[in-house]
Structure 1
Amino acid sequence: MTTGQVPRTVPTSLRRVDEARRRFGAFAETYLAAMGAGDPLADAFVADFPALGHGRAMRMLRTACREGVDAVPDAPDSLRALFARLDEVPAWLDTATIDRDSRHTSRYSRASGIVLGAASLVSGYANSAASRPLELTGRYVENAGARTIEVGSWLLAVNRPDGLTRYSDGFELTVRVRVIHALVRADLQRRPEWDAAAWGVPICQAYLGYTLVEFTLIPLRAMRRIGAPYLPHEEAAASARWRYLGHLLGIEDALLPRNAAEQERLEEIYLLTRPPVDDYCRALVASINREFLVPEIQGVLPRRLGRQAPRVVHALERLFLGDEIADELAIPPTRLTRVLAAGGPVLTALHHTLDRIPATLEPRTRKGKAYEVEQEQRLRRDWNVRHDLVDASPAGGRPHPARGD
């Protein structure tokens, strides 16, 4: 059995497996088998960490990202194999078009930051197996703000012009995310509390594939629902960007969506089979609401309405997730959901009018970019976060495998 794999049996925590097989046919078998697959290339490199030393191995990784693997003295074969794959440029990648068609998306940065939390991240918490690595490494409930900043910093880097190029910060951060996943995977597979029969491989290929849905299909749909829709070419660019990021993250081609239809198929089978919500999932949502989303909404609302921020957050989450998942996550119902749903088409009409006036795009984009810088600075100041990803976070508190504690 190779690194990062368990026997090809369906995890017992999954639901409605027979229905998935009837509805999705061969793709269901691909998806279910992916529950037992990790990331062989990254997992092999991480398997060399004990011999190399954690700190030395991470320095090798950074050098290979910044200068190329040939610049790494005594690079192990596992690192060379990983970068042989990373240095391949897929024939379908067109970074110039992606950058061109994304140049004005920051005009909606205030809304997209809220959508990141209330739609993208929270949707992933409605799955007790996929959330289990966060629970066992203590990386969210104990410090929701820091991890949200880490995710936000990565997203800012990969969405900048040239953020996908080979020697960019976005490339390095994405590769480090991939290796962090492998470090967590290796650590959890050694732990007796990891129930492989119930949950499959930690951070398995199936759930890795779903992260592309979390960062593309779900936020694009959520932005439309609150009346901040991107233009068609911008949505296409977002899908193309995340297809390449999925390639860098080590997602197998069979689970790497090429278009919106394949993303929708992946979302459907994920939602159909996802393990049930548990108390930790609910704690994750309560934590991100308390530590991140409610303060962000308070910053948007007039001061006299600041106490309504929790209701606004709950309304947004119900609008984005639907009542079934929101009920499971113990998100309180509120009539404000209907108000926001009714306001979406009005704001959409307004923004469509503005978007048809080319002269408005650049100033709105500049304002949005200024907000992105201000928001990151403010969050880092408020949470005293100076690092980019968890592998560079300061020691102290709960140990984490990405730091080599």
Structure 2
Amino acid sequence: MSSSSNASSSTRGRWTDEVLEPFRAMGEPLADAVIQQVFANNEVETVNRMMRSLHSNVHLVPAELPDALEDYLNQTDDWPEWADPEKVVLGQRLFARYGMQMTLAYFTWSLPSCYGWAKAAKVLTWTGGIDKNVHRRILETAQFVLDVMAEGGLGPKGFGVRTAQKIRLLHATIRYHVGRDPKWRASEWGTPANQEDHVATLLTLALVPRVLTKLGLDFTREEEDAYFHCWRVIGHFLGIHADLLPRDLEDAEHLWEAIQQRQVRPSEDGVALNKALVEFLKSRIPGTMMDGVVVATMRELCSEAVADAVGLEKTDWTRHLMGPMRWMFSLSDEVQDQSGFAAKISASLSRKLLEGLHSSETGGGRVTFRIPQSLQDSWNLATTEEKKAG
């Protein structure tokens, strides 16, 4: 018993329950104060317009902002002193090179991992309308990732910083509403959208290179470190408490293990969320040939504990490879430069998924899921307009 306990704690580093538990009761003071003032001044519609722009990013911010919002945006867009611009650029270049596979991992590892945390999953289902809300959040998350990881996305005129600021306000709005619901049991579940849940979500994005090694990709420690540093800077923009941001990649891996041990539990909320995610992904990938690969990839990437927590059906990964293999080799274009078999399949699946997300959310001349041009170029993605022209 004690040796097992010691082995368990050794994977957690400095992240003990005593360190982490207080963060479950903590929100984010700056954004919380803004939202409280907005509601007090009856300026809710202005905030709603800003939140709706999360989808389209047609405009960085709506015109005629309330003073509290304008002050907040000006106070929270500076880089932290410890940020290393060269590492950020290297991290974004890595995303430009492997972003299709990374995007697939966001959908098949990051999101299921989030749904595996029973307490965090509860706040995601609290407002009801699981299908509609999950689909919206999936698009918002995907848009956020593309915005912050595109070349220049974290620069002064990049979409990334502004998108992070908006999501920070969105989290504060969730805390405002759910936290006032008398049925919400804060003593048991923690503050809605709390700091521990936020840093856990960040890690599902920052640790993706490590996960993709299961699909045959290979990264140097320098590349993984730069990618993590990029997300550490993003965590700063999201308002994650400085004491909770991991110092480096090793520290992040310890924190990840600690949160997994603390939070992964089976729940009806997690099962419902992941079911909606699987159906969403199937609906965005043309045809039915790739449907089985969605679940198989989740099984391949997620831990057994997460797969069980979200009720993921058991599949045999190998029996799903033959159809996609024939389909993949029928493609005329070259798929990246990976020799790994699963890596090539994942790149092909990612391409179809991204094009599906883009085209399915395009209508009336207004794009609500925007793939930055630099990434379209890097990934050789065809937009809906280009397909029609062709």
Structure 1 and Structure 2 fold alike (TM over 0.5): yes
Structure 1 residue aligned with 2:213 = 224
Could you tell me how far 1:327 is from its partner in structure 2? 2.2
Kept in 1, the 8 Å contact 2:79–2:233? The answer is: no
2:238 maps to 1:253: no
Structure 1 residues 202, 153: closer, same or farther in 2, change over 3 A? same
Q: What are the residue-to-residue correspondences of 1:273-292 with 2, within 5 Å?
A: 273-274=262-263, 276-292=265-281
Kept in 1, the 8 Å contact 2:13–2:251? The answer is: no
How far, CA to CA, are the matches of 1:136 and 1:167 in structure 2?
35
2:225 maps to 1:236: yes
How far, CA to CA, are the matches of 1:335 and 1:368 in structure 2?
18
2:146 maps to 1:156: yes
Kept in 2, the 8 Å contact 1:122–1:285? The answer is: yes
Structure 2 residue aligned with 1:32 = 21
Could you tell me how far 1:388 is from its partner in structure 2? 6.3
Kept in 1, the 8 Å contact 2:77–2:237? The answer is: no
2:177 maps to 1:187: yes
Could you tell me how far 1:161 is from its partner in structure 2? 1.2
1:122-146 Cα shifts (integer Å, max 9, x gaps): 1000112101221013364335433
Could you tell me how far 1:242 is from its partner in structure 2? 0.8
Structure 1 residue aligned with 2:168 = 178
How far, CA to CA, are the matches of 1:75 and 1:89 in structure 2?
22
Root-mean-square deviation (CA), in Å? 3.8
Kept in 2, the 8 Å contact 1:95–1:162? The answer is: no
Aligned-partner residue type, residue 92 of structure 2: S
1:200-253 Cα shifts (integer Å, max 9, x gaps): 100111111111211011x21221111133454432232111111110111011
Of 261, 269, 291 in structure 2, the residue corresponding to residue 309 of structure 1 is 291
Structure 2 residue aligned with 1:167 = 157
Structure 1 residue aligned with 2:330 = none
1:95-127 Cα shifts (integer Å, max 9, x gaps): 344224532533433322321111011100011
| Identity fraction in percent | 24
Kept in 1, the 8 Å contact 2:12–2:257? The answer is: no
Q: What are the residue-to-residue correspondences of 1:29-108 with 2, within 5 Å?
A: 29-50=18-39, 51-56=41-46, 75-76=67-68, 80=71, 82-83=72-73, 85-103=75-93, 105-108=95-98
Choose 128-137 or 51-60, whichever is displaced more.
51-60
Choose 313-322 or 249-258, whichever is displaced more.
313-322
Could you tell me how far 1:24 is from its partner in structure 2? 5.5
2:308 maps to 1:327: yes
Structure 2 residue aligned with 1:266 = 255
How far, CA to CA, are the matches of 1:98 and 1:40 in structure 2?
27
How far, CA to CA, are the matches of 1:97 and 1:22 in structure 2?
26
Structure 2 residue aligned with 1:399 = none
Secondary structure of the 2:132 match is: coil
Structure 2 residue aligned with 1:115 = 105
How far, CA to CA, are the matches of 2:91 and 2:12 in structure 1?
35
Could you tell me how far 1:330 is from its partner in structure 2? 1.8
Could you tell me how far 1:179 is from its partner in structure 2? 0.2
How far, CA to CA, are the matches of 1:53 and 1:88 in structure 2?
26
Structure 2 residue aligned with 1:213 = 203
How far, CA to CA, are the matches of 1:59 and 1:284 in structure 2?
26
Kept in 1, the 8 Å contact 2:361–2:369? The answer is: no
Aligned-partner residue type, residue 253 of structure 1: A
Secondary structure of the 1:330 match is: coil
How far, CA to CA, are the matches of 2:225 and 2:13 in structure 1?
25
Secondary structure of the 1:102 match is: helix
1:169-199 Cα shifts (integer Å, max 9, x gaps): 1111110000000001110011112111110
Structure 1 residue aligned with 2:326 = none
How far, CA to CA, are the matches of 2:90 and 2:306 in structure 1?
36
Structure 2 residue aligned with 1:203 = 193
Structure 1 residues 251, 101: closer, same or farther in 2, change over 3 A? closer
Secondary structure of the 1:251 match is: coil
Unaligned runs of 5+ in 1: 1-15, 341-350, 357-366, 390-405
How far, CA to CA, are the matches of 1:368 and 1:290 in structure 2?
15
Could you tell me how far 1:56 is from its partner in structure 2? 3.6
Could you tell me how far 1:91 is from its partner in structure 2? 1.9
Secondary structure of the 1:253 match is: coil
Aligned-partner residue type, residue 250 of structure 1: G
Could you tell me how far 1:270 is from its partner in structure 2? 0.8
2:119 maps to 1:138: no
Kept in 1, the 8 Å contact 2:43–2:66? The answer is: no
Unaligned runs of 5+ in 2: 54-58, 322-333, 340-347, 371-390
Secondary structure of the 1:283 match is: helix
